[in-house]
Structure formats: structure tokens, C-alpha cells
Chain A
Amino acid sequence: MKASVEKIEFAPGKWQTSVNVQDFVVKNITPYNGDASFLSGPSTKTTNLWNICKASLLKERANNGCLAIDVEMISSINAFKPGYINKEDEVIVGLQTDQVLKRAMKPFGGIKLVEAAVKERGLHVSDRVLDIFNYAKNHNEKVFDAYDKEIRDYRSKHILTGLPDNYARGRIIGDFRRMALYGVNQLIEFKKEDYSKVGGEMTEHKVRLREEISSQISALRDMLIMAEDYGFDISKPAQNAKEAVQWVYFAYLAAVKEQDGAAMSLGNVSSFLDIYIDRDLKDGLITEDEAQELVDQFVMKLRMVRHLRPGAYDEIFGGDPTWVTECIGGMFNDGRTKVTKTSFRFLQTLYNLGASPEPNLTVLWSEDLPDGFKNFCAQVSIDTSSIQYENDDLMRTSRGSDDYGIACCVSHQEIGKSIQHFGARANLPKALLIALNGGREEKGGVLIMKDIPFINDEVLDYEVVLSSFKNTMKDLARVYAKSMYIIHYMHDKYYYERAQMALIDSDPHVDIAYGAAGISIIADSLSAIKYAKVKPIRDENGLTVDFNIEGDYPKFGNDDDRVDSIAQEITSFFINELRKHEAYKNATPTLSLLTITSNVMYGTNTGATPDGRKEGESFAPGANPMHGRDSSGAIASLNSVAKLNYNDAQDGISNTFSMIPKSLGDTREEQVTNLVHVLSGYFKQMAHHLNVNVLNRETLQDAYNHPENHPQLTIRVSGYAVNFVRLSRAHQLEVIARTFHEAM
């Protein structure tokens, strides 16, 4: 294969003979150590397009959050004629449907859910599509065919929640860079080679693998046709910067035309694209303005990605997120930085197009990042509250790869080599209440777990409660693992991600990403039982409905080992229980401490807890301390979360940190420097993730009352960002109620 037709040749390497984008990047990247002064503003074309998008976004919101739905067609890579925003201004083209923001049906995840979502908008799924599903099977239906009573009970009683059994699992990140580097023809050749190696005696695994590779090849062929419709030939590698961006986007577009997974992440394309952009700049083929235009328009397209969701979906994933997560920055294992000028250009889109939740820009933070980049990131956080940070020094060493993306919110995934099966999460406080109530659910008293003795003590005893809670966690892990096995088995069978998988190695490593909600409530509850006097208040059936707490107790979020160690112990115990069970495709169990926006819904469905939290009160998001209990200041709060061990929760430990601008310092310069120090300090202690919001509570209050004045106001919630005005009223209030750190 010839490396390049341009004046500057790409440095040769292993990438030429096998699929190895990482090798290409390592050999060809030009790290950038400077500051942001080279950046350009938006081009006229970009501004024209964005104005059209903004008008469409307003209409979408006026129309109750959904502009239009196509009810005739089953979406697939080749569904729909080419769509444009305004063709003559578009340097990067491609929409999911024939009209911007129009949503498409992807019923293989579940026809009933599509029907419901369409019906909520006063429309009907076409008879043709409905008839197809008189014969075709779908993921949602088949999962429930295999569920047993136990799983159904855990689900309906909100012990296991948000499971990807009634929506697509997502989280699988294709290596979209492969399209630009190799083109379709070469990628098909590599896949055929893989297929030919699956030989010998057949096993279930091998047959399935052959079927998977074949469907991946068909996906690649379909991508070729899709690009042809737009007037591009992607059979060959991209020859220049514009093509590289366009090829990568086509690959991503194919994925989001065919799949509507909860999170459809992008990976880490920015520094890869920089190689092409940098070469064209050096060759004098494009200017900095044009380079920025490519990035702005690519990002604009990513902002327009939409999926069709029923209203109830908003409870677990509020604000209509798509999680086009893109990682920026980080370091190579060889000690060089992965920061390029295009890392800056991606962040610059938040100025050129204004703040936005998508793409979910995630900075991979390392102590060794160039200062110019650190400062620019902090500045962008202060100005837009649109980016999140993850610890590259921690993930690179703990997970062993320097070429990874973030799936969904916070979850590490080696690009092209490894995937993960999304597992939603378990409600730990609910399991604690079941432990106190003899295996019964606290609301209504339905027996959920057998062999859990009633605790009748007048004052709760720490050892007794802990031991019973561990038993309920054991049972929880067993049922959780079982449900995940069924879900992913069926998802592969009926709603396989052939587009993403076509851009991933043929037999990748799999993580099964379990999750837990309410860790701070657990830590505080057990701490209250241990250090204060907690007396259960029981109803006539002996069910605990509330608690009297006498005396004070150490609370999570104050850098106090007495309680922080409880959070550590429970996290470690739960993942070890999960590890004991079979996983589909031999996946490696990981755990996240993450809630997304479901912390509100969890609260609604969980009775009073021994920490003094009342029935119905929201959980804290992710691994955050409970609102208002981290009373020793921001650093103590960060230090508590930093103690949670990443090796017990490799799917991610989410912390959302909000502060008012003034609390960061008096001058803008000081604010930037101090935020850099916050990030450095937090991540030096091997903390994993930080959402940074720099906002005044009054701004949020005003946006609550006058949403029309804040169309682009963006705020980070657990692991992603949302347009504040697109959150439900309940979620908006919850965000406003959160701890905003203010210096005295």
C-alpha cells in the first residue's frame, strides 16, 4: 500500500501492513507545546450554517424537544437520501436523515419502544414497518423472553435500573479513524483475512464470529454506497485534511444511522486528524482559517446527531444526550504529549459555535501536559462549563494503553481493540434497606431476597447491619450478572452493531461495565450507624420507614478516613462479588460509580435511609458526596472522592464539581491558574474523573425562569453535559440545589 500521494510522505510503520492506527499516530504526530494564540474564529460559511442550526434547535425545543420523525423508514446505513443544512456552505457533509434534526426509527432495539415514542408525538409507525415486525424479532422483546421472575422483580422494584433492555446498549466505539487511514477496500481485505483465520472444528464462538465478520463486511460495503450518494469515494484512504475529516465523519455517521445506543462515542480522533491538517498546512494547501472551518463544521454535525426516544427515557438520561464523547490530550507511553494544534481547535469550537454539551469533550489530564494546553482547558471550563477531565496518568498505567477513548461518560476503552457491554447500575441504598427489612423491599414489603433475617434492634448495630448488607449485595450481584448475560446475548443476536464493529478488531476484548448508584448514601448511612445512634422507625408490619439519628457522625466529602474507608470497602466488596459470576463473551467485570441523571429517579424510588436522607430525596450524582454534607470546603470534598480506588471501579468514578467563578480567584488569570491547580491536585492523588462547572447559581435560577434567554447554557452533570434548558424541571431544580463551592 502506498503511504501518501502528497509532497510530504507519512512516516512508514506497522500501520501499513496491518490495522494499527496507534502506530500511525505515534509515528506521524506533531505534538504542540504552545498556547492558544494561533486559533481562528468561525468562517462566514460556518456562521451561516450555525445560524440555520440554531433556528432549527429553537424550533425543536418549541416543538417539545423533537423537530420531526420519519415514520416510514427503518433507519440503516443506506436509509435516506443525502441531507444538507445548506449545501453550498457545507465543507463537511452528511446527516442521519434527509433533514437536520429529523429523527429516524431504529426498531431492532425494540419495536414497541419506537411505537411508543412515535405515538407520544401524535404520529403512527407506518403499517409496512409494523408488518415487518410481525416476522422480525427485536432485542427488547427477546430479552424479556429470557428474563426470570427474579430479574423482573429486581427491575420493577428499582433495585436494578436503567438496564439496556428497552433501549440500545451503545458504548461500543468504532475506530472511526480507520476509514480515513485505510479506506473501505483495504478494511474489507483485513476483515476477509480475519475471517479466513477462523478455521478448524467449529464452536459456537467461531460460528458467531464468522457471522459477525460477514455482517461487518456488509456494513463497510454499505458505507461505500452512503458516501457515494454524497459524491465521495471512500474506497481509498483519505488524501488530504478535508477528506480525512469527511471519511471519519462518514464512518461515525454510518454508526448513528443504524444504531441508537445510549452513548455513541467518537473516540480520540482529534490528534489523528491533526496529522492530515498539519501536513496540508505545511504543504500550503489550506490556511489556519480553513483548518478551523473543517473542525467547526465537523463538530457542528456532531451536535446535530439525534435519536428517537420515548419520554420515560429522560428519567435516566435527562436532556436528550447522545454522548458523542471525544477525548482530547493525554500522553503517549513514550513520554511525548498527544496534544496537537487540533486539540486546541476542537476546544475552540466552544467559542466559535458557543457552549454545547455535545460532542462530550473530555480532556485526558496528565501532570505532563504542556502548560499552554492546561491553561486553555481551564479557561474554556471557566467560560463554557462544557468539558470534563479524566486522569490520563491513572488510566494509561492502570489499563496499559495510550490509545483509548471514553465510552459514554467516563469509561475507558482501548480504541479498536476492546469494547464494553453497558450494564447500567444497581441501587445500593435499596439493597441496604432490604438488608434492614429481612429481604423485603421497603415500599410495600414484597419479599425480594430469601434468607435475609429481619433486624429488630432498637439501635442499629454496625457489624450486624454490615454483615446483612453484604449478603444482600451478594444476591444483588448474582441477579445483576444474570440479567446482563441475557441482555448482551440478545443485543448481539438482534441488534448487532455491525457499523462500529466493522472498525474494531474482529475478536476484541470485552468489559462488562456494571454500575452502582448511591455510594455516598451508603458511606454516610453506615457511618451514622457506626458513630451516631440510629434508631429505625418501623410501621405496623415491621418495615423500617424512617430513622431517628442521635448525635453527629463523619460524613463522606470531608476527607475523613473514618467514613471514606467505608465507601472504599463497599466498592471493593461489590466488584469482587460481581467478578464471581459468568459474563457473556467472557467479559471482564468492571464497575462504575456513576448515576448519569438517574440520581433523581433513584431518589424518588428509594425510602428513607439511615444517613438522614428522607424518602424520595435525590441521590448525589455519581460518586459525589451528598449535597451540603461536604462542609469542609472543596478540597476536602475532592480528597474524599479521590480515595475511591480506580482498580475497584475501572468503569469510572464520576465526580461533578461546581463552583462560582469568583471562588476561583479575583482575576481571570488567577482563576485559570487556580483551576489548573485544582485539577493537578485532584489527579495527582489518583482520582479518576472530574466534571467542572463554573457558574453562578443565579444564572441557573434565571435560566429556570427564563429558558428563552439561555438557549446554549451548558452544565456538566454526572459524566456528560446538557443544555440546561432541555432538562426536566425536576432535574433543573436538583442541579440548582447542588453544592456550589464558594471560598469564604
Chain B
Amino acid sequence: MYFPLQDIEAAKLNIDDPDHLRIHSLETFGTHDGPGIRMVVFVQGCQFRCLYCQNPDTLDVKGGSLVEIEELVKRAIRQKNYFGTTGGVTVSGGEPLLQRNKLIHFFKRLHEEGINTCLDTNGRLNNHQAQELFDNTDILLLDVKHINDEIHHKLTGLTNKNTLEVAAYRESTGKPMWLRYVLVPGWTDQPEYLEEWGQHFSNYKTAERVEIIPFHQLGSQKWELLKMPYSLKNTPPPTAKSKKEALAIFQKYFKNVILK
């Protein structure tokens, strides 16, 4: 059952069952969320309502299943041989920050085992706990979905203010960050906003890499299955030309831009 904005339950997600993470699924061979080969833990629950969400089945904060953190650590160790010098564990979602306290513990355990950590987040929160989690994150993958707050609001249901604060906090710590941007025709491909986005982060020394993720329709079936209204049903993926243009704009501001 789907409930919009489950605030109370979302708060519980961080507190209840301190030894367990509520997860949607595990991918043992992740190569798209952070460097190298990664075990990707897709956590359950998110308060953003991005129109283009590819994993709407991860939104419900009461969905998924509870998995013991130690079990996840054990599995990560089973994969350690494949990580080499670059790989490790990425927590994505869903929105990991909803389970920040538990993730602090998880990441500390991974570090004890010598395993690299990435956090793939929309930067929804920037409180003390969130910052402690960022400090235990080797590479922060921050999705800045739109630079214009009004459009961000329409696109995700919430403000981008916190996300920009998280970016600024990360910059202040000097630890590496990859900025991610989903390119959606008609929503996020306006050249003027791409320029503004680039300008905003152009002086960030910690932004090691910028990733443009072209919108696709692979998630549309999930919306249907969940019987949730999907407003981008008729939105096509960006054209080659549009991707090239976005790439060219970002490349003016960043050395390392990857078009996925």
C-alpha cells in the first residue's frame, strides 16, 4: 500500500530496529554507483517524489525487508576480493539518509573491514547525524536534481535548499564527491539552468566527477504495477543532440564529466 509522504514512519525508520537496515534489494555486481565493482545496497523509503523516479518500488518506507547490518557486512566481506583498490559498498535507494544512524554504524563496520563506502543521496537532510554519516562516507554521490528551487519542487515535491547545503558541507570537509544529474527532456534540459547548475559548483574542489544520467523509461512498468500515477509516461529519453549539449555545458565547468 502506498502512502504519500509517510513522515512519521520515515522518522521511525531511523530509530526502530537499530541493528537492521530496511532494504529493497542487493546488487552484488554494481558498476554504476561509484568507482569499481561495488555491492550496492538499495535501501527502502524515500520522501522525494521525483516524477522520473526509476525505482518507485523503493519509496514506501514500510516496504522492503529488514536485514541485519552484520549480515550485510558479512556479504560485503565475501565480495572483498572483487573490489580491488577502487570498489566497495554503495548505499543507494530509496533515500539512505532516512536510516542515517544505522548507516553510520554500517559504514564504520565496513571501514573496520577495510572496505570503501559510497553514499548515493538526494541530500534531503543536513543535520548533525547526516553530517556524521557523510564524514564516514569515502565518496558522496550527490544527486542535485535541479538548480532552480521552484522547478526542483515541482520535480521532486521538495526544496533543493538542503541538497545545496549538503554539497556546501561536503566541500567544507574536503572529502570527495560525485555530483549526479538526471537529464529529463522538458524538465531538466534547459540550457540556462544547466549553466547555472555548472556555475554553482564550478569552484567546488571536492567535485571529482560529474555524471549525467539520461532519463529512460525502464521504470515505467514499476509505476504501473504499483498503480501509481506516472506523469512522464509519454516523455521520451533525451536525444543524442540534447545529451551532447548538456555534456558540452557541464564540460565548461568541470574537468571530469561522464555521460552515462
Contacts and interface: CB of A to CB of B under 8 A. Distances in A.
A656 to B, nearest CB: 16
A639 B82 CA distance: 10
B87 interface: yes
Contacts of A639: 78-79
Given A635-B37, A677-B36, A744-B27, A559 B86 contact: no
Contacts of B79: 635, 639, 681
Nearest to B26: A632
Given A673-B86, A678-B37, A744-B42, A634 B78 contact: no
B81 A743 contact: no
A665 B81 contact: no
A684 B81 contact: yes
A633 B29 contact: yes
Nearest to A559: B78
Interface in A630-666: 632-637, 639, 663-666
A491 interface: no
B258 interface: yes
A681 B260 contact: no
A726 interface: no
A234 B36 CA distance: 52
Contact of B30 (A637, A685, A744): A744
Highest count of chain B CB atoms <10 Å: which of A559, A674, A744: A744
Contacts of B31: 663-666, 670, 674, 743
A667 B31 CA distance: 11
Contacts of A744: 25, 27, 30, 32, 40, 42
Interface string B79-90: 101111011000
Interface in B19-57: 25-32, 36-37, 39-40, 42
B258 A743 contact: no
Contacts of A667: 258
Contact of A674 (B26, B37, B39, B211): B37
A682 interface: yes
Highest count of chain A CB atoms <10 Å: which of B28, B29, B32, B42: B29
B260 A743 contact: no
A674 B32 contact: no
Given A677-B84, A682-B82, A634 B29 contact: yes
Contact of B258 (A559, A666, A680): A666
Given A666-B260, A678-B82, A681-B82, A635 B39 contact: yes
Contacts of B32: 665-666, 743-744
A710 to B, nearest CB: 25
A741 interface: yes
Contacts of B25: 744
A637 B82 CA distance: 13
Contacts of B37: 635, 674, 677-678, 681
A632 B81 CA distance: 17
Interface string B205-226: 0000001000000000000000
Interface in B232-258: 258
A680 B39 CA distance: 16
Interface string B105-124: 00000000000000000000
A176 to B, nearest CB: 36
B82 A633 contact: no
A684 B32 CA distance: 24
A670 B211 CA distance: 14
Contacts of B36: 673-674, 677
Contact of A743 (B30, B84, B86): B30
Contacts of A685: 81
Contacts of A677: 36-37, 82-84, 86-87
Nearest to B211: A666
Nearest to B38: A743
Contacts, number: 77
Given A635-B29, A744-B42, A680 B86 contact: no
A637 B79 CA distance: 11
Nearest to A637: B28
A497 B154 CA distance: 77
Contacts of A665: 31-32
Contacts of B81: 680-682, 684-685
A721 B133 CA distance: 48
A680 B84 contact: yes
B26 A633 contact: yes
Nearest to B79: A635
A677 B88 CA distance: 12
Contact of B28 (A634, A673, A676, A682): A634
A681 B81 CA distance: 4
Contact of A633 (B27, B84, B87, B258): B27
Contact of A681 (B42, B83, B258): B83
B258 A636 contact: no
Contacts of B78: 559, 639
A635 B28 contact: yes
Contacts of A674: 31, 36-37
Contact of A680 (B26, B30, B40, B82): B82
Contacts of A684: 81
Interface string B51-87: 0000000000000000000000001001101111011
A666 B211 CA distance: 10
B22 to A, nearest CB: 18
A639 B78 CA distance: 8
B68 to A, nearest CB: 16
Contacts of A678: 29, 37, 82
A559 B75 CA distance: 9
Nearest to B75: A559
Contacts of B30: 633, 743-744
Nearest to B84: A677
A636 B27 CA distance: 9
A654 to B, nearest CB: 20
A633 B40 CA distance: 10
A495 B65 CA distance: 63
B242 to A, nearest CB: 18
Contacts of B86: 673, 677
Highest count of chain B CB atoms <10 Å: which of A633, A665, A678: A633
A663 B29 contact: yes
Nearest to A665: B31
Nearest to B25: A744
A665 B29 CA distance: 10
A664 B29 CA distance: 9
Contact of B29 (A666, A670, A676, A743): A743
Contacts of A670: 31
A381 to B, nearest CB: 15
Contacts of A635: 28-29, 37, 39, 79, 82
Nearest to A671: B31
Interface string B125-169: 000000000000000000000000000000000000000000000
A632 B83 contact: no
Nearest to B80: A681
A159 B27 CA distance: 38
Contacts of A682: 81-82
A634 B87 CA distance: 15
Nearest to A663: B31
B31 to A, nearest CB: 5
Interface in B178-224: 211
Interface of A: 559, 632-637, 639, 663-667, 670, 673-674, 676-678, 680-682, 684-685, 741, 743-744
15 contacts: A632-B26, A632-B28, A633-B28, A635-B39, A637-B28, A663-B31, A664-B31, A666-B32, A666-B211, A677-B37, A678-B37, A680-B81, A681-B81, A682-B82, A743-B30
Interface of B: 25-32, 36-37, 39-40, 42, 75, 78-79, 81-84, 86-87, 211, 258, 260
Given A678-B37, A680-B81, 6 more contacts: A559-B28, A633-B27, A676-B84, A677-B36, A685-B81, A744-B42
- State the 9 A-B residue pairs at the shortest beta-carbon distance, nearest first: A681-B82, A633-B28, A634-B29, A635-B28, A681-B81, A677-B84, A684-B81, A636-B28, A633-B29
